[in-house]
Amino acid sequence: MATSLNEFVGQELLWRRTQAFKSHYELQAGNMVLEKLDMTSWRRSATALAPEGGLSMKRERPGVVFRSGGETGAVIASYRRERAGVRLEFVDGRTLL
């Protein structure tokens, strides 16, 4: 996992389950593993590992909080459901609806 994800923009990527009875996945370009995702406890949290660093997703009211560098890292965004759909808000003020 030493290659940046930016090098694969526009290429076909595939998420593959790595363990039959666990929610562990790898993002692959051909046979190359680009990222790993552990969703074992997705009802509560999930963790992604990429060359650029780690990302933690954890359910917190009223939605999901994204942190860089794991569960104790800085909050970088939050996600919540609304009547009109979903809202993704970044700490720098950007919002996606």
pLDDT digits (tens, 9 = 90+) for 55-93: 888 888 888 888 888 778 889 899 888 888 888 899 999
**Can you tell me which residue has the tokens 């794991």?**
70
Q: Output the pLDDT for position 42.
A: 65
Number of domains in the chain: 1
CB 27 within 8 A of CB 35: yes
- Both structure tokens of 95: 């919002």
Note the pLDDT tens digit of each residue in 38-59: 877 767 788 888 777 788 888 8
The sheet that has 75-82: what strands, in order across it?
A: 14-17, 24-29, 32-38, 45-50, 53-60, 63-68, 75-82, 85-90, 95-96
Output 28 or 41, whichever has higher pLDDT. Answer: 28
**Domain that residue 62 falls in:** 5-96
Q: Which residues contact 86 (CB under 8 A, 6 or more apart)?
A: 79, 80, 97
